[in-house]
Every structure is written in structure tokens, then in C-alpha cells.
Structure 1
Amino acid sequence: MVDEERPPEVLNEKLSQFLVHWDGPDDPENPKNWSKLKRWYVTVFGSLLVFNASFASSAPSGILPQLIVDWNMSTEIATLLIAIFVLGYCVGPIFWAPLSEAVGRRPIFIIAFTLYTIFQVACAVAPNTGALIAFRFLGGLCAACPLTNAGAILADMWDPDNRGRAIAFFALAPFAGPALGPIVSGYMTVAGVHWRWLFWVLTFFAAACTIGIVFTVPETFAPTLLTRKARALRKKTGDTRYFSALEVMEKNPRRLAYLIFGRPFKMLIREPMLFFITLYMSFVYGCIYLLFEAFPIVFTLGHHMDEGTSGLMFLPLFLGGCTGAASYLFLFNPRYEKHIERFAPKAVPPEYRLEMAFIGAPIFAIGFFWFGWTSFPSISFWSPMMATSLLGLGVVLIFLSLFNYIIDAYLMVAASALASSTIVRSLFGAAFPLFATQMYNRLNPRWASTLLGCLAVLMIPIPFVLRVWGARLRRKSKYAPTD
């Protein structure tokens, strides 16, 4: 890794002939040379894992009224069931992402999703409020695994020239899950289904994904695959001198502690571009979860909708996100392909990934102003509802742009870069719902949304500044490879 000492065995030129590499640029064992069908399957399945994790985060929002009645739960504690799950996203990446760079992606996915399934069962049979909150946190901790590692899988399989289309699915998934969760749980409540059944549904979904990982998802991390290749060579030839770079890395508690606790935070502190990208994505992510508290105030109380109909108000948010993904595939990605031809044979600088954020940033701010100032009960619900489509469009354009930028800029340590970003982003996602109700009640929906719109305006310059100064910052970075 770029910030660790190289073992003497790797640096010693006399032993370099026994250091196992790929057999040329077309080695079929290299994940980047797998068939497109195989790579697309792993990409779509990885996105499904992200959707699963993010869907579970917001799904309880529709059953909260039942819990409040059944267990005499306060509104603040009920809201904590969503926030505590997202808080688990802050802890999980500290372990899952760096460990995946030490032992491989597949075993970490299997462990995390097996535990995630178990904790969904525990939520379904929880005997009291404290147990339910604890199991929700542990479930969120395990669900954090695909939020960081699925993006790293894309970096394992796709080169920068072709990664864009794959990222479109990945960036939509963490946004689609929270948007669709309230719709399902809201109509379960309207249908009179007991709240425990929601967690059984989440259990079945998690179990199906776990089975899919075990039987269909291969290892994609190149150092782990090269380790397997080295073992096969030793067995085939009887020569024990063959080794992989991963095998000779010193495996002691100090190194593991650094991988787990050190690198993600070290990168966040030392990398200005990662810091500001994380700040922007965290604000946007927090706003998504804030809407779970804002929508009931605007639509359930203001327009007297039931939980099911109020959940449907999230649908334009999701459709706006789909529009953003489609615009990337049919508009922005073809533009990027022209840049590939322009810069060939060199890679396109990561700053060219920021074009979507130039458009998405102002759209996101406009969406909040529109949502806020049409949220009067006397105005048709169609206006604030359709305003959320702009929020969805802006979120996906921003996320697609910045996800691509992070992976392109921090290719070899993408999992750690995404981990530090996910940790901070999840803190915002957990915190925003906790003050959203009080903010919207005290300021009223108009001024509360205006405040968020103004903050969004202050964030707009970030991608523009990175476009101008990003290359200079990367040249000074230890983690971002440059030509």
C-alpha cells in the first residue's frame, strides 16, 4: 500500500522473478479481463447489496406510528430507530473497508451479510425498545459493508474508461433504498400488517442476498487473487520461493490496527479534496434522511394524508434519481468517452468527472427552495411533491460525479477513501433526522427548507474549485496516483 513500508522481499531485485504478477495485460484471471457479462453481473449484484442496506435504513419510518402506540414510545425514540441504523454506517466502514484490502472482498461480504441477516431476525423478535435499538445499530454496522466495498469492487473490475456506466448503478442504489423504504412500510401500516413483519421482510431480503454472495460472487481484489496464484505455482512447481506482495506484508496487530483505524482518517485529514468532497456529500446525504421527518409534517399533517399515501410522496424523489442516472448514461458518459480519445494513451484526469456536479449542485439547491415555498396546505400537494424530483436529480448527479472522482483519484486505496467518506456521511445521515422535526416545527416548512437551500448554495463552488485546483492537489498527495 502507498503509505506502508515495502517488505525487503518485494524491493529485492534478486527475488523479483519470484514475485507473482499477472501473465501480461490480457491475463484472463485479472478481474479487468473478465467477460462483460460476468463483470456486469457482479456490478448489478453489488448495487443490489447497497440497495438492500439503504432500504433497511429508512423502511421503519412507515411503522413508527405502530411502535409509538404498541410500546408507548416517544417520537424522539421512534426517530432514533432510523438514526441509530445510519449511525452503524459510521462504525462499520472502519472495519470492513480496510480489512477487505487485507484479506479480500468476498470473505468480508460473506461475514458482514451473514451477521446482517441475523440482526434482522433479532429486530423481528426484539422484546423491548432497548433491544430493538441495539439490534438496529448492529444491523447498520454490518450493512455498512457494501456501502464502501461495492464501490471498491467496481474499481477492481473496471478501468477508468469503462467504469462510468457501472458507477451509475452503484450511485443510484444508496439513494433509491431510502426513497422506496417508506413506501413499502407505509402501505404495510395502512394494510394493518403488524410492524414485526417489516423486519421479517428485511430478513428474507438479507438472507437472499447472503445466499447470492456465497454462491455467485467471486473474489475481485487483485492482491488476493495473486496470492491464490502464488500458492498454485508453489504447489505446481514445488518451488516455495514464489510469493505475492500481499503474503509478505507483515501481519501483526500494529499493521491491522493501522489498516482499520489509521488510513481512512489519515486520508480524510491529509487530503483537502477528499475532505471537501466528503463535506458536500455528507450534507446532501443528511438532507435525504432529513426528508423522512419533513415529509410527515408537510404531507401527513399539512395535507392530511395517511402513511401509505405520504410514503408515495417519495416516488418523485426516486424518479428524479433515475432521471439523473439516465442522463449520465446517455449524455455525460458519451462526453467522457470523447475525453478518453482526447487524452489517449494517458488516463483522463479525474477532474473531468465533475461536470455532472456543475449541474447537479444548483439543481439540488433550487429543489429545496421550491419544496419549501410551495409547502403551504393551501397549495396543491403536487407542487412540493414534484419539487422532490429536482432534489432526486441533483443528489444523483452530485453523487455520481463525486463517487467517480474519489475512485479515479484514489484508485489503489479506493475502499479506504470511500470508508472515510461514508463514516462522515453517515454521521450527517444519523444526525439530521434527530433535529429535523424540531427545525421544521419551529421555523415552519418554508423557512426550514430555505435554510437548507441556502446551505446548498454555499456548497455549489466545491466542484468548481476542484476542477481548477484538483490536479495541483493530487500532485501533492501520497494516495492519488498521477502521471
Structure 2
Amino acid sequence: MSSAPHPGQQTKSAMGFLKANDSVDEYTLTGVNNEEKDDPSKFEVKFGPEDSDSPFNWSRRRRWYITFVSGLLAVNATFASSVPSGIVPAMMEQFGFGREVGTLTIALFVAGYCVGPLLWGPLSEQYGRKPPLVLSFVVYTAFSIGCALAPNTGAILVFRFLSGVFAASGLVISGALMSDIWDATTRGKAFSLYTLAPFAGPALAPTVSGFIAVSGTSWRWVYWVTTIFAGSCTVLVALTVPETYSPVLLVKMAKRVRQETGDDRYWAPLEKKSTSVQAQLRQVVGTPFVLMASEPVLIALTVYMSFVYGVVYLLFEAYPIVFTIGHGMNAGITGLMFLPIFLGGALGVLLYLLLWNPRYERLVAAHAPAPVPPEFRLEQAFWAAPAFALSFFWFGWTSYPSISYWAPLLAGALLGFAIVWLFLALFNYIVDAYLMYAASALAANTVVRSLFGAGFPLFAAQMYEALDPRWASTLLGLVALVMTPIPLVLFRYGPALRARSKYAPKRPAVAARPAPAGADAV
């Protein structure tokens, strides 16, 4: 927290109805008559609009720093998920296992994302963001050391799965950190930059592991690099990132006020919350799957996003077939072939900030005081969905060894661009459509996506070898093409589906209105 002001000033801004005399120990209630003095609500500790202890009122520099660290944690987790891709042959030679087991070193880490969100989400809502984040990254760093020192196949597979479970906090809690510090107006900009982070890791990791593999250095150094990265993030969070969860900050403030005033009636909402961690876990585990089983909108979006996410990890098996076998590149240069995916994603974020975010701000003004219908979030997906399908046809039919590697390489840039636009559109739609149940909806989405991300690499190599890169990519492109109408269908029928939902908030019937003059220009 920021440096504390004069106790009396802080209490006044926190609760709005206290005042302090010159003596810090002398407090009097204002605006409370005798009948109201026993009303518990009169003693609830709250942040005032200008309270410097409120995360929303921290300096922009401080909040952007926290956003940067949040993105770094997401990069760390996804970097570690795909970093073995360049050293699988070396591990196969060391331990004598087959290619399928080598692929499990990636798949099991991603499978850990299915368990982690169900653990770290409720813990961060009970104890705050920082303690679970620091604890999980300490353990994650320890398991990374275990991978580096693994004596056999079983050890490295177990350590990889457990590393994924604990690294998942970097995806779950880091996203929550940004919701703690940014208001709705600025959150879209911060979130667009954060969205790029999960795709930066998979794009950068093969380059690192590939060059380690061809340098003559032991494959174990890949895991030592992961350990150093994880340990550095652990220290960074522990020393520089404050607690951002307002309910926990208010508990600390309430304790301080009780101590300063000697009045035990002051309280914070989290102190009155009797739900145990076990009950929260049951709710967090149960509600997402109820939503997934009963919400057609969420089912459609999750299937689409899971396919997109699975394809990202499928490429770790497909790219070596096209570039290493087809074009004769070594593991290090093949790793560089992933960079256009990241660069295309970065371009997608830039265009989102320049085009779609200003357009959405105009829509907010046009629909005020009513909220913007969630369906307007889907507009950028109208362009991204066909681009995503096209990227596979481009990649596949330019993957002949006789064609310059620049052709399939640039297909990756279109793929990265389309993925970022799709995820920004569909994530924002889920949040806007479900609001109070958005966390549960995103948890269900994350678990299913992680299953696809863990499963797709297991059959990718066999598919690309059996069908050859042309027809394997064509098959993926055709599946993507079949899913292309999903955003259009939801734009048309989403309001009716949400009206019948038990979980989507009931909104006033508002006809879709165009953006103000000038919106069409973007």
C-alpha cells in the first residue's frame, strides 16, 4: 500500500462519516443519531472516491508497472509451457522414450492449467492476490529445478505437470490484478496489451530452446533458464508488487481503524463473509461446469476458442516438419520461424488500440445511459475469423520445400494477427454477456481450452506425416472455416439467447444503434 497519511485523514476518506480532532485518539461520529449508532452498515469501512489507498487511485505509472509485471507473469507461464519443443530429441536420446512421450513434456504442462485456475482463483479471493501468487511461484520455481535435475522419464513428466499447475497462477491471478487497478474506461487498453502476453511465450520459447539445442549445451539448461526466469519473477512480485485486492485492503484498514479508535464495531465486508475456502472451491469448481452445460453461447464460444488455442500448441509439432524436415533448418532457425506469430499479434494489438477501442468508446457514448450490447464486441471477429481460416490454407499450400520459406513464414503473421483479434473479441464478449458470472464463465473456458492445448500436440505430428503438411493444414483450415460464422450467428441471435439465460444479466431491450458519426471511418 502507499504510504499512510495522517490516521484521522485516512479514516475519514475510508469511511466518509468519521472526523478526527487534532488528537489522533479522539474520534466522533457525525451524522449518526442514537438510533443509528448500532446499525452495522454505519460502521462499514469503505474507500472514498479520492482515497489514495484505493488501487483505482494509485498513480498511473504505478498501475502500468503492475500491468507490465502481470503481462510478464503470463509470458513466463506460457514460455515454460512450450520451451521443451527444441530439446525433445535430446531428451529422447537421454531417457530412451518415444516421440509421443516427448510431446507429453508440453502437453502435461498445459494440462496443469486445467487444475491451477480452480485452485488459485478462490485462494486469491480469500487471501488476496499477492500471497497465493508468491507462494505458487516459489513452488513453480522449485519444480522447474526438479525438471532440470530430473533423473528419469517419470520424474520429468511429473515435474512438468506440477509446474503447470503452479505456473497457472501467472495466468489466473495476473488477469485479476488488472481488474483490481483499472476502471472500465482504461481496462480495455490494458487488457489488449495483456492479451498478447500468452502468445508471446509460445512464440519466443522455441527460439530459445532451439538455439540451446544446437549450441552443444546440455538440454538441461533449457530448464535452468526457465528456473531463472521463474525465480526472477518471484522476486519481482515479492518485492515490488503490492496487494491490489480491495476487499483484503479494506480488512487491513478496518483493523487499523479499530486499533486507532478502540471501537470494535468497524468492519470490512470480507470479515463478514463466512464462506470457507472449501465452500468457495465447491462453488468455483461447480458453477463453471453448470454454465458450460447450460449456456449455448458459452458452449459455442468455448469450442471455437479451444480450437484456436489448441492450434497454437499443434504448431510446435507442425513447424519442425515444414521447416526442419522440409527446408533443412536446424532447431534454432526453426525456432525463429515462430516469431512472425508474435509480430502479427503485436500488430493486432496496435490496430485494436487505434481502431476498435476508439470505436467502442464512441459506442459507449451513443448508447448512454444504457450499456453497449455485448454483441458489438464481436465486430472485429467478423474480420479475424476468415483471416484465421485463410492462414492455414496459405501455410499449407506454400509449405512445399520447393517454395521459399518466406511464404509459410508470413502465414504465421496473419495467424498471430487473427488469433489476437479473435481472443480480444470473444473474451470481452464473455465478460460483457455474463458480468457477475464472468469469472466462472472464463474459468470453464480456460479449463476446456487447456484440454485442447494439451491434446492437440499429441496427434499433430502423426496428422502432418500421414496427410502431409498441405492436406493437414487444409483440414485445419476447413474446420476453422466451419466455425467462422459463430460470431455472426451470436451477433444475430445473442440477445435472444441471453434473454433466456439464468446467468446473463437482464438488460433493457435496446435496439442496436450505429456508432456516432465518424465511426464508420474506422
The TM-score range, normalised by the shorter chain, is over 0.9
Any conservation in 2 of the 1:161–1:340 contact (CA below 8 Å)? no
Aligned 1:306-317 pairs, distance under 5 A: 306-317=330-341
> Residues 307, 223 of structure 1: CA spacing in aligned structure 2 closer, same or farther, 3 A cutoff?
same
Any conservation in 2 of the 1:286–1:425 contact (CA below 8 Å)? yes
Any conservation in 2 of the 1:83–1:434 contact (CA below 8 Å)? yes
Q: Quote the offset at 1:35 in angstroms.
A: 1.9
Deviates more, 1:421-430 or 1:375-384: 375-384
- Aligned mate of 1:392, from 409, 412, 416: 416
Q: Quote the offset at 1:411 in angstroms.
A: 4.2
- CA-based RMSD of the aligned residues comes to 2.1
Once residues 479 and 231 of structure 1 are traced to their aligned partners in structure 2, the CA distance between those partners, rounded to angstroms, is 36
1:426 aligns with 2:450: yes
- Aligned mate of 2:79, from 45, 51, 55: 55
Q: Quote the offset at 1:81 in angstroms.
A: 0.5
1:110-151 CA distance string (max 9 Å, x none): 111111111111111111111001000000011111222222
Q: Quote the offset at 1:279 in angstroms.
A: 1.6
Deviates more, 1:66-75 or 1:111-120: 66-75
Q: Which has the higher contact order (CA 8 A, sep 6+)?
A: 1
> Residues 410, 153 of structure 1: CA spacing in aligned structure 2 closer, same or farther, 3 A cutoff?
farther
Structure 1 equivalent of residue 321 of structure 2: 297
Q: Quote the offset at 1:410 in angstroms.
A: 4.1
Structure 2 length-normalised TM: 0.86
1:468 aligns with 2:458: no
Once residues 73 and 470 of structure 2 are traced to their aligned partners in structure 1, the CA distance between those partners, rounded to angstroms, is 36
Structure 1 length-normalised TM: 0.92
Once residues 174 and 113 of structure 2 are traced to their aligned partners in structure 1, the CA distance between those partners, rounded to angstroms, is 14
Once residues 256 and 13 of structure 1 are traced to their aligned partners in structure 2, the CA distance between those partners, rounded to angstroms, is 33
Q: Which structure dedicates a bigger proportion of its chain to helix?
A: 1
Larger Rg computed on CA atoms? 2
Q: Quote the offset at 1:83 in angstroms.
A: 0.6
Once residues 399 and 80 of structure 2 are traced to their aligned partners in structure 1, the CA distance between those partners, rounded to angstroms, is 28
> Residues 396, 13 of structure 1: CA spacing in aligned structure 2 closer, same or farther, 3 A cutoff?
farther
Q: Quote the offset at 1:420 in angstroms.
A: 1.8
Amino acid aligned to 1:126: A
1:355 aligns with 2:355: no
Aligned pairs, number: 472
Q: Quote the offset at 1:388 in angstroms.
A: 1.1
Once residues 24 and 345 of structure 1 are traced to their aligned partners in structure 2, the CA distance between those partners, rounded to angstroms, is 24
Structure 2 equivalent of residue 71 of structure 1: 95
Structure 1 equivalent of residue 215 of structure 2: 191
Structure 2 equivalent of residue 178 of structure 1: 202
Once residues 35 and 472 of structure 1 are traced to their aligned partners in structure 2, the CA distance between those partners, rounded to angstroms, is 42
Structure 2 equivalent of residue 5 of structure 1: none
Any conservation in 2 of the 1:317–1:388 contact (CA below 8 Å)? yes
- Aligned mate of 1:417, from 435, 441, 445: 441
1:120 aligns with 2:144: yes
Deviates more, 1:157-166 or 1:120-129: 157-166
Amino acid aligned to 1:342: A
Once residues 410 and 14 of structure 1 are traced to their aligned partners in structure 2, the CA distance between those partners, rounded to angstroms, is 37
> Residues 216, 405 of structure 1: CA spacing in aligned structure 2 closer, same or farther, 3 A cutoff?
farther
Once residues 43 and 52 of structure 2 are traced to their aligned partners in structure 1, the CA distance between those partners, rounded to angstroms, is 19
Q: Quote the offset at 1:355 in angstroms.
A: 2.1
Q: Quote the offset at 1:364 in angstroms.
A: 0.5
Structure 2 equivalent of residue 344 of structure 1: 368
> Residues 365, 241 of structure 1: CA spacing in aligned structure 2 closer, same or farther, 3 A cutoff?
same
Aligned 1:105-254 pairs, distance under 5 A: 105-252=129-276
Q: What is the DSSP-based 3-state SS (H/G/I as helix, E as strand, rest coil) of the residue aligned with 1:57?
A: helix
Once residues 37 and 335 of structure 2 are traced to their aligned partners in structure 1, the CA distance between those partners, rounded to angstroms, is 63
Q: Quote the offset at 1:168 in angstroms.
A: 1.4
Q: What is the DSSP-based 3-state SS (H/G/I as helix, E as strand, rest coil) of the residue aligned with 2:184?
A: coil
Any conservation in 2 of the 1:93–1:420 contact (CA below 8 Å)? no
Any conservation in 1 of the 2:118–2:281 contact (CA below 8 Å)? no
Runs of 5+ unmatched residues, structure 1: 1-11
Once residues 129 and 489 of structure 2 are traced to their aligned partners in structure 1, the CA distance between those partners, rounded to angstroms, is 34
Any conservation in 2 of the 1:155–1:414 contact (CA below 8 Å)? no
- Aligned mate of 1:318, from 321, 342, 348: 342
